[in-house]
Structure 1
Amino acid sequence: MSQPQATAPATFRMPGSEFLGRVREGGIIYPFILLFIVLAIWKGSTFYGRTNLLEILDQQSATLIIAAAGTMVLIAGGIDLSVGATYALCQVIAMKIAISGNPVAAIVVGVIIGIAVGAANGVITTFFRINSLIATLAASFVITGGAALITGGNLITNFSVTGYANFARTQFLDVTTAAWTMIGVVIILGVVLARTMAGRYMYAAGSNAEASRLAGVRVQWIKLITFAISGGAAALGGIIDSARVLSASSSNGGTALTFTVLAGIVVGGTSILGGEGAIWRTVIGVLFIAMIGNGFTLLGWNPLYEQITLGLILLLAVGGDAWSRLRTT
């Protein structure tokens, strides 16, 4: 007599899980549109006018570049808390070189140093198997200290290096070169993540590193590459901002920038657990946070409440990600 064949247990999915999955996929779009409509009604053309919107885009150029690269790190299963320190170090070095009279060398050397710092973070977290949160947090202290030694704790300023300033200030179609650079970098990183084999490997490494390794994915190298990209992006962001104001300081960036970048990535819908996310969502997340700040300014509200608001939004985003993961499993 034939034995009854065992059947695999059905996967349990909680009610509403399909809807929640769709909300997670594009959830940031809805609050972004709602906030835009509210501010447009409340402040009119003062908010949605061309001047204000282009100013937001210009001011957020560095943050968007850094956040786009940071999205790759998070998707691949890591986290980079040293971007603020790298931002400061590379702008300090670039500014010093620019003052010596070679703005092109300043930009190139600054970005190379950022890539090197990011690669070092990658080596520490992958080959030495140190948790990326701890490793990059420790690295941020070392990098900040190095930047402070270079500057002697002083602000570096020189308003005569116009060639260096042109890297961020020149306008084409009323859009600054800082914003054009950001658009180019974001598009390139977005295509790499969404359309290339390297991007698929990043998702695989963040979803299940061990299974990816057994499938032949060089997980350590993929993660190292994402950290190197993150370091280069932080350097480029720092150079853009220093070129805009023609000054640099070891105290620029820091935890405030790191928090803003991480908040934009997470609010945009990239999971802190890795394996999920998209750069287009990060862009909307960063602009959503920027609109909140712009709204507080236009409405004349106390900026201290802005920090409270951003903290609550980040908490809701992380909590929502954890809850929706539970519901969709």
Structure 2
Amino acid sequence: MKLLSRAVAEETKPSRLNVRSLLELYGVVILGICLAVVLSLMTDSFFTAANINNLIQQWAFIGIMACAATVLMIAGCFDLSVAAVFALSGVVAASAAASHGVVTGICAALLTGVVVGAINGGIVGYLGINSFLATLASGFILRGVALTISGGLLVTVSDPRFSKLGRGEFLGFSLLNGAFVAAIAIIGFILHSTVYGRAVYASGSNEEGAYLAGVNVRQTKFIAYVISGIAASVAGFLAASQSSTGQAASGTGYELLVVAAVVLGGTSITGGRGAIWRTVVGTLVLGLIANGSNLLGLSGTLQQIIQGAIILLAVVLDRFSRSASH
């Protein structure tokens, strides 16, 4: 238990309150604030309720999956199949909803996420296959399954109740944004307020040490992949609902944006360190870059260069931070 507590404590408070530790903890927040200030000065349309709401809605899908990916990366794993699960869940949800009703569609999508997450978790957690290679391969397979189910065509749902999930509002608040907030709250609670969450930190920080301390590392990784699968399926059927269609090609490249949001937020790529709030800020920073680029009329190529440069800087800072702590 001391190992588990120490792993969490390492994340939640710095050893010395100095400029370096403050930058490590809140650098991404400072970056986000600076971007927001610059954009608000350079364009009149940035700081409007409509634009902010649009920004959050556009990145809610990435945010939901990134919250779950945070758990995985803290545990020392990757999931490069999330974009394929996103697409497959959307296709399954649309297909099932079109033929058997909306509730069946939602349940089928969630079941898809659970099954895929369990398979990935079994391969990585119990068979010990490298998570990068295993989920890269499963991503290709799942895309193929999605194409097979859809026949390469759009799966359209005419039932208006289906579209309300992704487009609806409650008390003026978007249901999609509500799902993002729910993902933050639920996964944040699991990660920071449960025994399982402490096991995640311990497994990623020192897998052998965690095992010797009594942590079931294999089970910890397995559950993390199931969480990732569920999050991707929720994002997938919400996206299908928003457009009233399931598309096998949807979410292409999302797996990289998910990893980018988590890494930019400060979660260590080597495991053992990270937090949900950081991932949320990292997601919003990526959203600010994309939104600001569009408002300023910058090309998509320049936008990718800016995103890549910031992410590379985050990885370099993580490397130096790790070296300094040893």
Band of TM-score, shorter chain = over 0.9
Q: In 2, are the aligned partners of 1:17 and 1:328 still within 8 Å (CA)?
A: no
Q: What is the aligned partner in structure 2 of residue 205 from structure 1? A: 203
Offset from partner CA, 1:209-238 (integer Å, 9 cap, x none): 111011100110011000000011001101
Q: In 2, are the aligned partners of 1:205 and 1:275 still within 8 Å (CA)?
A: yes
Q: Describe the SS at the equivalent of 1:216.
A: coil
| Shift, 1:172, TM fit | 2.2
Instruction: Measure the CA separation in 2 of the matches of 1:206 and 1:186.
Output: 21
Q: Which runs of 4+ in 1 moved over 3 A?
A: 16-19
RMSD (Å), alpha carbons: 1.4
Match runs of 1:93-172 below 5 Å? 93-158=92-157, 160-172=158-170
Q: Which residue of 227, 230, 234 corresponds with 2:228? A: 230
Instruction: Measure the CA separation in 2 of the matches of 1:76 and 1:295.
Output: 33
Match runs of 1:169-318 below 5 Å? 169-254=167-252, 256-318=253-315
Q: In 1, are the aligned partners of 2:56 and 2:287 still within 8 Å (CA)?
A: no
Instruction: Measure the CA separation in 1 of the matches of 2:137 and 2:20.
Output: 37
Q: Describe the SS at the equivalent of 1:60.
A: helix
Q: In 2, are the aligned partners of 1:207 and 1:275 still within 8 Å (CA)?
A: yes
Q: Describe the SS at the equivalent of 2:46.
A: helix
Instruction: Measure the CA separation in 2 of the matches of 1:36 and 1:101.
Output: 45
Q: What is the aligned partner in structure 2 of residue 21 from structure 1? A: 21
Output the amino acid matched with 1:20.
Answer: R
| Shift, 1:154, TM fit | 1.4
Q: Describe the SS at the equivalent of 1:217.
A: coil
| Shift, 1:29, TM fit | 0.4
| Shift, 1:303, TM fit | 1.5
| Shift, 1:72, TM fit | 0.2
Q: Describe the SS at the equivalent of 2:201.
A: helix
Instruction: Measure the CA separation in 2 of the matches of 1:142 and 1:239.
Output: 19
Instruction: Measure the CA separation in 2 of the matches of 1:101 and 1:291.
Output: 40
Instruction: Measure the CA separation in 2 of the matches of 1:265 and 1:197.
Output: 22
Instruction: Measure the CA separation in 2 of the matches of 1:309 and 1:59.
Output: 19
Offset from partner CA, 1:183-213 (integer Å, 9 cap, x none): 1121111111111111111000100011101
Q: Describe the SS at the equivalent of 2:273.
A: coil
Gaps of 5+ in 1: 1-15
Q: In 2, are the aligned partners of 1:17 and 1:327 still within 8 Å (CA)?
A: no
Q: In 2, are the aligned partners of 1:18 and 1:328 still within 8 Å (CA)?
A: no
Q: TM-score, normalised by structure 1?
A: 0.92
Count of aligned pairs between the two proteins: 311
Q: In 1, are the aligned partners of 2:211 and 2:217 still within 8 Å (CA)?
A: yes
What percentage of residue pairs aligned between the two structures are identical? 37
Output the amino acid matched with 1:173.
Answer: L
Instruction: Measure the CA separation in 1 of the matches of 2:21 and 2:321.
Output: 8
Q: What is the aligned partner in structure 2 of residue 43 from structure 1? A: 43
Q: TM-score, normalised by structure 2?
A: 0.93
Output the amino acid matched with 1:192.
Answer: I
Q: In 2, are the aligned partners of 1:54 and 1:175 still within 8 Å (CA)?
A: no
| Shift, 1:17, TM fit | 10
| Shift, 1:19, TM fit | 3.8
| Shift, 1:22, TM fit | 3.0
Instruction: Measure the CA separation in 2 of the matches of 1:72 and 1:157.
Output: 34
| Shift, 1:285, TM fit | 0.2
| Shift, 1:249, TM fit | 1.2
Offset from partner CA, 1:290-327 (integer Å, 9 cap, x none): 01100011111111111111111211111111012112
